[in-house]
Structure 1
Amino acid sequence: MFKIKDVVNYLVAFFIILSLNFLLPRLMPGDPLTAIYGEEAMIQMTPELKARLVERFSLDRPLAGQFGAYLLSLLKGDLGYSYFYNAPVTKVILGALPWTFLLVGTAISISTIIGTLLGIESGWRRGQKIDRAMLAGTMFLDGLPDFFLGMVFLILFGVVWEVFPLNGAMTPYAGYAGITLVVDVLKHLVLPAVSLTLVNLTGSYLLARNSMVTTLGEAFILTARAKGLNAQVVRYRHAGRNSLLPVITHTGMQVGRMLTGALFIETVFSYPGLGLLIQKALQTRDYPLLQGVFLVVTVFVLTANFSVDMLYKKIDPRLKSCTLNTGRRLNPTT
């Protein structure tokens, strides 16, 4: 089971993030309302609207009272009001969040599966030509920025060969429905998902490969081979299965990098996710929207890491509150 201490650690991290999200605009010089909405928005606001916003954010109360009102608003799902979209921030983010989840979820799933399989095969063939080729290829991809690879694919497959759409998540005003709509969404997803997948493939590959190389020297692998088991059974059921734990941990840590990469990829392909929201919020200085997006992204990363920690301990029972006499946590490789 998950230890209370681990849960408390995540809750403390979440509370610190909430506090920073609350304090940063209020620590800026000048009027807190101006810091929250920006000077451009304040110029366009009527005195009545300013008074309503002061009351809504409790800016006429002490800092502790403002923080209490802020937490109460979050519990109600109120992240503020976007003056650019003229809508609540929560509503704007919920409209873009599914597209980012689709892109990031697809990229993480594909990169983890392909990277793990390539790592297992590469580790099994350590030192051979195919191992060196895969190692060089993945390291080359890892050195490419997300947005650069996206622009290359956009030019080649969108402009030159016209195989996939240039931008968006679906064809506007097409009126597609059912399977036609699904196919259209997938066609728009291919280029951004492939771009994000390729540059994040290396982590899973290297971890699986290195773990595979280490595992192949273990006694139980030698025993399996001595029993005359099929090579594929030894490779995947014995060695490969025991190489998955580092990959699972990396998957949780990869969520943050994937989300960061998705923000750039969405901008390149004009994909209507959180990345495009951040771009428009920066251009229009829509600070409440920026704060809301950053808070949602941070919460999502914490949740993903928490889930992976639980899954990791579920898969490897040796990590369930096992400690040595010295108080040191049991090493999974021992």
Structure 2
Amino acid sequence: MQTTKTAVDYAIALTAILVLNFLLPRLLPGDPLQAIYGDEALMTMTPAMQAELVHRFALDQTWQEQFVAYILALSHADLGYSYFYHTSVTSVIAGVLPWTLLLVVLAFAFSTLLGSLLGIESGYRRGSKQDGCLLGIMMFFSGFPDFFAGIVLLLIFGVSLAWLPLSGALTPYSGFTGFRLFVDIVQHLVLPLTALVLVRLTAAYLFSRSAIAGLMGEPFIRTARAKGCPDIAIRYRHAARAAFLPMAVAAGLSFIHVVGGVLFIETVFSYPGLGSLLYKAVLTRDYPLLQGILLLAAILVLFVNLVTDLLCVRLDPRTAAKPAKARSDNHAYPV
């Protein structure tokens, strides 16, 4: 019964995503032909040429007809044809997707691991000076938007100190290969990755801190202390293992924010990923490309949420019988 309800919930979410994914790009002000070719080019075009372009882009169809064509194309795994790049949306996205995945995976891994470790240490010492100092630092960084943190790092380490590259993912026309290519990629990755990790590790920190602090008075912790177990064993072998479920839920929830942050950070650093591609698609009113990028991001988030739900049920089957609100209330973090 619970599995059926979960499937229905995800089906409803996917349907809403498809509808919004189609409507939102078309609600943007402006005309695709004007955004792509400019006013001067359109003035030199004959009415026949403009009509041909409108027909080629299917802009002469009603929104209902365009939506039906969109759904039929998706049923054949076809994301459409890009107005601006004059090629399939799939090939355009495939060209930049590896860079975004690299940034997303590393930012998610570092923010989750570092935030969880700091949260475990802070929760174990809840109320101490170290805990208060660390909590203040985390709350300070969490108040910055991703793009603002990226701009600050860019100005300090890219402009003022000139230690790291300002933009891109590779040095243009460098011809680097092997280890030198790896170093060049890492150098371009440091600033956007740092900006994402600094802002996003607070969520994992607060969840793990709350979970560990709530376990300190449990009988099995007191028993471990009575037996003379070292503090590090109590923190990681006993408390962290018992708190793994809420920490896993926190990781799944934070992934959504990491994906959203990456789209902004890539624009700040001109990183050649989906974020920069999305910005260009908005400027050119490239509806098929906008639909493809937003759909891919939404499906990725839904997939991670589904994996998180299945992981929670596997780790603790009792969670399958709890309402969603009750589960979320259990993982609320006190400060």
> So what's the TM-score if we normalise by structure 1?
0.85
Structure-2 separation of matches of 1:47 and 1:15: 33
Work out whether residues 253 and 305 of structure 2, in 8 Å CA contact, stay in contact via their aligned partners in 1: yes
Structure 2 counterpart of 1:112: 112
Structure 2 counterpart of 1:59: 61
Q: Deviations over 1:78-106 (max 9, x none)?
A: 22222222222221122222211111111
- What amino acid sits opposite 2:230 in the alignment? N
Structure 1 counterpart of 2:246: 246
Structure-2 separation of matches of 1:23 and 1:122: 45
Aligned residues: 319
Work out whether residues 318 and 332 of structure 1, in 8 Å CA contact, stay in contact via their aligned partners in 2: no
Structure of higher RCO (CA pairs closer than 8 Å, 6+ residues apart): 2
Structure-2 separation of matches of 1:123 and 1:2: 34
Structure-2 separation of matches of 1:41 and 1:147: 27
Cα shift at 1:154: 1.0
- What amino acid sits opposite 1:100 in the alignment? T
Structure 1 counterpart of 2:272: 272
Question: CA RMSD of the aligned region, Å?
Answer: 2.9
User: Which sections of structure 1, spanning at least 5 residues, go unmatched?
Assistant: none
Structure-1 separation of matches of 2:309 and 2:271: 31
Residue aligned with 1:266, SS: helix
Structure-1 separation of matches of 2:2 and 2:180: 44
Structure-2 separation of matches of 1:128 and 1:27: 52
- What amino acid sits opposite 2:282 in the alignment? L
Work out whether residues 262 and 275 of structure 2, in 8 Å CA contact, stay in contact via their aligned partners in 1: yes
- Summarize the alignment of residues 71-110 of structure 1 with structure 2, pairs less than 5 Å apart: 71-110=71-110
Cα shift at 1:28: 9.2
Determine what percentage of the aligned residue pairs are the same residue.
49
Work out whether residues 204 and 254 of structure 2, in 8 Å CA contact, stay in contact via their aligned partners in 1: no
Decide whether aligned partners of structure 1 residues 273 and 2 sit closer, same or farther in structure 2, where only a CA change above 3 A counts.
Answer: farther
Structure-1 separation of matches of 2:33 and 2:50: 14
Structure 2 counterpart of 1:297: 297
Decide whether aligned partners of structure 1 residues 158 and 26 sit closer, same or farther in structure 2, where only a CA change above 3 A counts.
Answer: closer
- What amino acid sits opposite 1:59 in the alignment? Q
Cα shift at 1:302: 0.9
User: Which sections of structure 2, spanning at least 5 residues, go unmatched?
Assistant: none
Cα shift at 1:147: 1.3
- Summarize the alignment of residues 43-58 of structure 1 with structure 2, pairs less than 5 Å apart: 43=42, 46-54=50-58
Mean Cα displacement is larger for which, 263-272 or 287-296?
Answer: 287-296
- What amino acid sits opposite 1:180 in the alignment? R
Residue aligned with 2:282, SS: helix
- Summarize the alignment of residues 155-166 of structure 1 with structure 2, pairs less than 5 Å apart: 155-166=155-166
Decide whether aligned partners of structure 1 residues 138 and 4 sit closer, same or farther in structure 2, where only a CA change above 3 A counts.
Answer: same
Q: Deviations over 1:231-262 (max 9, x none)?
A: 21111111112222222112222222212211
